[in-house]
Amino acid sequence: MDAVTYPNVKVFDFITSSLVPIRVPADSKPLADEFKLTWTPTLITLDFYGKEHHRTVGFLPPDDLIASLLLGMGKTDFDTGDFNDAIIHFDRVLSDFPQSGFAPEAVYLRGVSRFKASHDAAALKQAYEKLAADYPASEWAKRAEPYSLL
């Protein structure tokens, strides 16, 4: 990632404008143990209190890294009940990186966030329909299948 992804201007700009990056060597004790770092690169999205909300392991090209970080930001908002902010992050994954492997999860969580913000079950059915149409082989389409009955 040091040779390809991190030097990318889009990645650098995104990270410096959106996150507080901290780099921990995999053999750095006690942080490596505390965060269960067993392989590099491991990217962990934490909230203000240090609670983990998203993790990726292994190399990611620039666009996938940004999509993963946006998903992590959305998951942090989701987990803390900030559903409208979560929707904004998930929407950005889908508008900027629709071909990313992180897009199907963003569709699913956007639908759940919309439901939790509005209590309108139509948001869940819409998530399923988008997953079935755009990402039918994804695990997220399978997870959302019960929403087709709504």
User: How sure is the predictor about 3, in pLDDT bands with cuts at 50, 70 and 90?
Assistant: confident
pLDDT over 90 at 38, yes or no: no
Q: What is the CA radius of gyration of the chain?
A: 16
DSSP three-state, residue 60: coil
DSSP three-state, residue 77: helix
What local confidence, expressed as pLDDT, does residue 150 receive? 94
pLDDT over 90 at 134, yes or no: yes
CB 135 within 8 A of CB 104: yes
Biggest distance spanned by C-alpha atoms of the chain: 50
Q: Write down the mean pLDDT value for the chain.
A: 95
Round to whole Å and give the CA distance between 20 and 12.
Answer: 12
**What average pLDDT does the segment 91-111 reach?**
98
* 70-99 pLDDT, tens digit each: 999 999 999 999 999 999 999 999 999 999
Nearest one of 65, 60, 58 to 11, comparing CA atoms: 65
What local confidence, expressed as pLDDT, does residue 27 receive? 85
Domain boundaries, the chain: 9-149
Q: Say which CATH superfamily domain 9-149 falls into.
A: Tetratricopeptide repeat domain (1.25.40.10)
* 7-36 pLDDT, tens digit each: 999 999 999 999 999 888 888 889 888 999
